[in-house]
Structure 1
Amino acid sequence: MSGLSNLNKQYLTYLVKYPLLTKAVTAGVFSGLSEIVSSGITNEFKETVVFGKYKVKHFFTRKLLTMIIYGSLIATPISHNLYEIINNKLFVGTLTTKGKILKILTSLSTVTPLLSACFTAWIALINNYEIGKEFSPCTEIKKIIAIAKAGLKKGYTTVLKSSLVTSFFSLIVAQKFIPPQLWVVFFNLVYFVLGTYQNTKLKLAQKKLRLQQEKEQEKKEE
């Protein structure tokens, strides 16, 4: 237990000294783990031939790298800067009960919807986007926008609902049962579980959509 306590203290020290970098590294690690777990659940393995004849299944794919990039370089800077504004500019000093409620509502109505949209669009892109053989910037941008829109239309509401519910109850649990010095670790674990659940659900939905599109394409070719 003391080892875990020392590790938490060291982590919090780095968090105070290098806040954005520490959050980025943490989010990158958890995003990578989330992708590995969700890929295992949805049976999305990659096969690589080694020594010319042995097929090895693994999770080290382009998707894993892009999820690490998302967690560390997209989600973290957005959440870090938005919470910086909420905590240090909009709600400063000791807050009343009404102030605390308003702060939570502000977070749930701004940060959560934005991150949910980014997450949903990103998952849609890494699961469905492939660069065309004849590369054209305009064509690729249109393709990216179309895939992101389709992903948001299909999965955004579900992701947003689960994010809002999880964030709300996590804040209540943290305030009542978790020591303040353990909040960072607690929320990292909570959002790892939530991200894995959302990622898995989106993968299954998009996998089903791809299969339907392939069947429709086969019927057209016949």
Structure 2
Amino acid sequence: MSVKFEETKITTTTTPGGKHDLIHEVGNALTKGGGANGYLAQAYLRQLQQNPLRTKMLTSGTLAGLQEFLASWIAQDRSKHGHYFTSRVPKMAIYGAFISAPLGHVLISILQKMFRGRTSLKAKILQILVSNLIVSPLQNTVYLASMAIIAGARTFHQVRATVRAGFMPVMKVSWVTSPVTLAFAQKFLPEQTWVPFFNIVAFIIGTYINTHTKKKRIAALRRKHYGDSRSQTGRPGDEYDRSSRGGY
């Protein structure tokens, strides 16, 4: 058995242009495919160049849906059927693909055109200011309005109230994270990757905020319907679903 193994080994390493080359290529595909310079990354960058809007829509939609699912799973916020894949997941995916991505594509493209070829420190600082004072407020307003509609708001008054209540808290988060992410993008990333990069940062922050919000809501429902003594052992999703149906 060992002799056959050695023979196979000699055949694959000494035959020029034969099995060794094939194995080498397969190894490269397996080890480099997921890396920063691998085939998958290069294919994604190529799609960004050839079909920028479509690629950004797919990326944003996937991340938005995944964010909602992960937040529900971490917070143990289940549907009335006991699932983490709630109706909000596809709604968030639709928002990410058809609202967030096109809006970000247009606004970031305008921002990049305004400062294209301007590499001075003054120009970079001015770009960050424009992003924080114009781009971010527009994006956050659309985001809050969309979240209000997804949550069930059906009148202009309800949507406006949600936007007014959440605007400054969301803007404070943007003013902390946006300068850092934009400065990083200015220095290290090609322009076509800015929107996906911002989407990934927003995905991480949004998952944390969404999870925290869900946990607070579930804890409030526990206190309201079962009391603090029960809140330590109850199942969050079940309690939320029962309370939403009016109790037992």
TMscore range, shorter length? 0.7 to 0.9
Which residue number in structure 1 is paired with residue 92 of structure 2?
67
Q: Secondary structure at the match of 1:114?
A: helix
2:53 to 5, 14, 20: 20
Q: CA deviation at 1:111?
A: 1.5
Alignment of 1:98-113 (within 5 A): 98-113=122-137
- For residues 22 and 188 of structure 1, the distance between their equivalents in structure 2, rounded to whole angstroms, comes to 12
Residues 163-207 of structure 1 deviation map (CA, whole Å, 9 limit, x = unaligned): 22111112334456x454895464332121022133334545667
Alignment of 1:118-133 (within 5 A): 118-129=142-153
2:140 to 109, 116, 120: 116
Q: CA deviation at 1:115?
A: 1.3
Alignment of 1:7-156 (within 5 A): 7-48=40-81, 57-88=82-113, 90-129=114-153, 143-156=154-167
- For residues 163 and 172 of structure 1, the distance between their equivalents in structure 2, rounded to whole angstroms, comes to 13
- CA spacing shift, 1:45–1:75, aligned 2, 3 Å: same
Deviates more, 1:62-71 or 1:115-124: 115-124
Which residue number in structure 2 is paired with residue 189 of structure 1?
200
Q: How many positions carry a matched residue from both structures? A: 191
| Alignment gaps of 5+ in structure 1 | 49-56, 130-142, 215-222
Which residue number in structure 2 is paired with residue 157 of structure 1?
168
Residues 129-171 of structure 1 deviation map (CA, whole Å, 9 limit, x = unaligned): 4xxxxxxxxxxxxx43222122223222111111221111123
Contact 1:20 1:80 in 2 (8 A): yes
Q: CA deviation at 1:63?
A: 0.9
Q: Secondary structure at the match of 2:155?
A: helix
Contact 2:48 2:192 in 1 (8 A): no
Structure 1 counterpart of 2:79, which letter? K
Higher strand share: 1
- CA spacing shift, 1:172–1:85, aligned 2, 3 Å: closer
| The structure with more radius of gyration | 2
Contact 1:117 1:156 in 2 (8 A): yes
| Alignment gaps of 5+ in structure 2 | 1-30, 226-248
The percentage of counterpart residues that share the same residue type is 35
- For residues 110 and 208 of structure 1, the distance between their equivalents in structure 2, rounded to whole angstroms, comes to 36
Contact 1:46 1:59 in 2 (8 A): yes
Q: CA deviation at 1:30?
A: 0.3
Residues 88-134 of structure 1 deviation map (CA, whole Å, 9 limit, x = unaligned): 2x2232332211211121112111111112222222322234xxxxx
